[in-house]
Structure 1
Amino acid sequence: MTAFASLPLPATPTVTAPDGSDVRVLLALEGGSMAHFTLAAGAVSAAVAHRQVEEIWYLLQGTGEMWRSQAGREEIVSLAPGLCLTIPRGTHFQFRNTGPGNLAAVAVTLPPWPGPDEAFAVPGPWQATGG
């Protein structure tokens, strides 16, 4: 039986994502995990894809754009608080902050994030800034 867990949002990032965003790792269960992502004003993430996981993002703060490409389909969507979006397994994606403050989102990863080799670099539409 899995124990109950509770965790306040960590005050500082706990890791840097493969795309360069700051991550505050939250909680996980057998079927999925959750994290809080932040991208600084003017920053552009690296373009990546995931080998095994898919994600659901919910935007909390800031404005920006998300590029997604998969199987001949491609789109750029505007990011703003209240938007929820999916990143299916294998989707190439990249995001950038176009606002004056941090861009922040929470994301659920299904299954839980397996480790550092999960994401791999792909070509994207924008030059990454390194976070």
Structure 2
Amino acid sequence: MSFATCRLGALPDAIAPDGSEVRVLCSTSRGSLARFTLPPHAVSKAMAHRSVEEVWYFISGRGQMWRPSHDRDEIVDVEPGVATSIPVGAHFQFRSVSPEPLEAVGTTMPPWPGEDEAAAVDGVWSPTV
């Protein structure tokens, strides 16, 4: 077993397929942790993950997240203190509705496998990123 100690980077490590900025925190063989940032009043691209599930915890800004499933279609308000889950294969899209960035810390299980993981889907809002 090895340990990792990581510090939040000043610049993004990547741009996620949904268009948000990603700053990778730590990763293990079973999961990874990253900070996602969407600019003020921006709308992400709608996506679905092929093999990973995620849990997001919002730390700043205000926004909304859309997640449809077989028997429900919901848009939830997100702000600091709110956590959401994104199951494998679930469609999702999010947007900032505040003058500050919408930021979340998210766990990806298993860790992000690469470029082919996310698939674009039709969303409820027109993306701006």
Under TM normalisation by the shorter chain, which class is it? Answer: over 0.9
The reply to whether residue 75 of structure 1 matches residue 74 of structure 2 is yes
Greater Cα offset, 67-76 or 5-14: 67-76
Q: Take 1:119 and 1:90, find their aligned partners in 2: how far apart are those partners?
A: 9
Identity %: 54
State whether residues 70 and 90 of structure 1, in contact with CA within 8 Å, keep that contact through their aligned partners in structure 2.
Answer: no
- Hey, what does 2:97 align to over in structure 1? 98
Distance (Å, rounded) in 2 between the aligned partners of 1:12 and 1:67 = 27
Following the alignment from structure 2 to structure 1, what is the Cα–Cα distance between the partners of residues 107 and 84? 11
How far apart in 2 are the matches of 1:25 and 1:117? 18
Distance 1:12 1:25 in 2: 10
Question: Over residues 81-109 of structure 1, what are the superposed CA-to-partner deviations in whole Å (9 max), with x where a residue is unaligned?
Answer: 00011000010000000001011000000
TM-score computed with the length of structure 1 as normaliser: 0.96
In the aligned structure 2, how far is the partner of 1:8 from the partner of 1:53?
24
Shift of 1:26: 1.4
- The CA RMSD over aligned residues, in Å, is 0.7
Count the aligned residue pairs: 129
Q: What per-residue deviation string (whole Å, max 9, x for no partner) do you get for residues 5-58 of structure 1?
A: 101101111100000000001111111011100000010000000000000000
The residue that corresponds to 2:117 in the other structure is: 118
One-letter identity of the residue aligned with 1:125: V
Distance 1:85 1:10 in 2: 24
Q: CA deviation at 1:114?
A: 0.4
Paired letter, 1:121: A
2:119 is matched by which residue type in structure 1? F
Query: Tell me, what secondary structure is at the counterpart of 1:117?
Result: helix
TM-score, length-scaled by structure 2: 0.98
Unaligned runs of 5+ in 1: none
Flag as ranges the 4+ runs of structure 1 deviating above 6 A: none
Match of 1:65 in 2: 64
In structure 2, what is the equivalent of residue 7 of structure 1?
A: 6
- The runs of 5 or more residues in structure 2 that have no matched partner are none
In 2, Cα distance between equivalents of 1:13 and 1:80? 21
